[in-house]
Structure 1
């Protein structure tokens, strides 16, 4: 029994606060059994072939994937290989569902990056125990990874986190043909501030600017990051250029409200400059297109007197 085309890729339990479990299987009986087993703990999503499984993984970023080995087109092993080759997806644990009991096949699956196997016919008790064990390991790994994705001084996303998110957002916006916007922010005359007031005062300024940058965004899908010494960035998916002005005005207002004295700046106050770029991503381009445009705009803002933003 196969699932109807209209059902493919649909979420079965929509509560977003739960961990996300993706089932990639073309047999409705297996999907229904897994749904019944885990609906109370997980938001359960489904895909009925390997190609849909890859697309759905990129869209929802599941916490764990149950993957049938034998499917038409992209089989389970090939899909697992692609998942593990993707920087944003490789950390997701994959459990194979298989009717095969061949030792060589299982060894091959582990080499592809799987963490476990579930054999058909599915035993609900064993399946539940294995999935919950690997989910616990995943949550512990997420805590450690999240710590590694934070800037130690400002407690916002660091460059590593930014790099991963811009890649993920680029792919999502390319698929949906939505605009991805980037704002790069640089503190004006920061070296002079550090030299005059000392590094402890400079660290305090970095934290206050990080707070101002973060407060400029209002949506959970947006990202504020520290990407360099005194350089910050805002990533805003599904945000056309005309919508950036509101974000920028909040940012510059936040900086003014901080009212930080800077005797080595012509303004006498701390200020920032920003460069902005908005594109609808193409699969033939990469994220450097967006970053270079924003960086060039930031350079113009600096050349034109600082304390301003440029598109």
Structure 2
């Protein structure tokens, strides 16, 4: 069942909030704020799908609230509709310049308010779908390489502030070319999709990311996870893939599809590039494959590349 969209109503007059809530509450989840300061806090907490924002409020006015919302990474795409008793073109232009997407005057007309809210909620839903498609691998449903690279940059920067752990896991399906040559590309695609599903079952925290890196390679980004935690995830990935029991008669290590895995873990620092995690994980994956495949190799590294640990 699809969850209902969340509307944040911001107005310093409680009676206006009650009126708009009565118009919209049948179709949407409603939350509210009675000041600009409160609106910013509530928005950051609930991440609404649309904001109905009064222009004239004591303290931070609606224009400033809108500008601040548009500067927030998680809120920049949330549509803002100004609601105001000001019925002049200059106020409308100022509101649209601040980042609002529409403008309705008070007292609100229920039919107009419902229609405009519904239109902008639908447009946001379509934009969100397009944005998700842009970062999703079509075959496996995992994140694509573009999203992986964006996430790695964001997480290394975020975790560098606190000096927390970050781990990266690289996974390669063993002898996948032989699998394709034996069973054909449609079967190969099904194999990739099944391995991706197994990967998603093993990498299940909300902060984790599982992505298809290219071909038969996958990458997991595990923010806040130290080496032992990442090694546990890698072992679970192996168990999940083994449980699929996908026949692979051409493999020299097993009668079923297996994976080789490289793990790289480090404390994040501002002088460390995201590419270091990928380079170290790739090196460990190479060692795993060179050792005979169907294995896990890992390392704990720092800016000086010290502290090698193998498993």
- Give the alignment's TM-score, normalised by structure 1: 0.69
Q: Structure 1 stretches of 5 or more lacking a match? A: 1-15
Alignment of 1:178-189 (within 5 A): 183-187=168-172
Distance 2:63 2:148 in 1: 30
Residue aligned with 1:154, SS: coil
Judge which range, 220-229 or 192-201, deviates more: 192-201
Q: Secondary structure at the match of 2:114?
A: helix
State the match for 1:250 in structure 2: 236
1: CA distance, partners of 2:25 / 2:12: 19
2:167 and 2:30 mapped to 1: Cα distance? 32
Cα RMSD (Å) of the superposition?
4.3
The question of whether the paired residues in 2 share the 8 Å contact of 1:64 and 1:93 is answered with yes
Larger radius of gyration: 2
Question: CA 1:302–1:45 in structure 2 vs 1: closer, same or farther (change >3 Å)?
Answer: same
**Cα–Cα, structure 1 residues 304 and 89, in superposed 2: closer, same or farther, change >3 Å?**
same
Would you say the 8 A contact 1:276–1:294 is kept in 2? yes
How do 1:1-311 residues align onto structure 2 when only pairs under 5 Å count?
Answer: 17-50=3-36, 52-72=38-58, 74-85=60-71, 88-162=74-148, 183-187=168-172, 202-218=188-204, 223-234=209-220, 244=230, 246-259=232-245, 261=248, 270-275=258-263, 277=265, 291-292=274-275, 294-302=277-285, 304-306=287-289, 307-308=295-296, 310=298
Provide the C-alpha distance between the structure 2 equivalents of 1:201 and 1:240, rounded to a whole number of angstroms: 36
Q: How many residues align?
A: 290
> Structure 1 residues 40, 120: CA separation in 2 closer, same or farther (over 3 Å shift)?
same
Aligned to 2:307: none
For the 8 Å contact 2:264–2:284, the answer to whether it is kept is: no
Q: Any unmatched runs of 5+ in structure 2?
A: 290-294, 301-311
TM-score (norm 2): 0.69
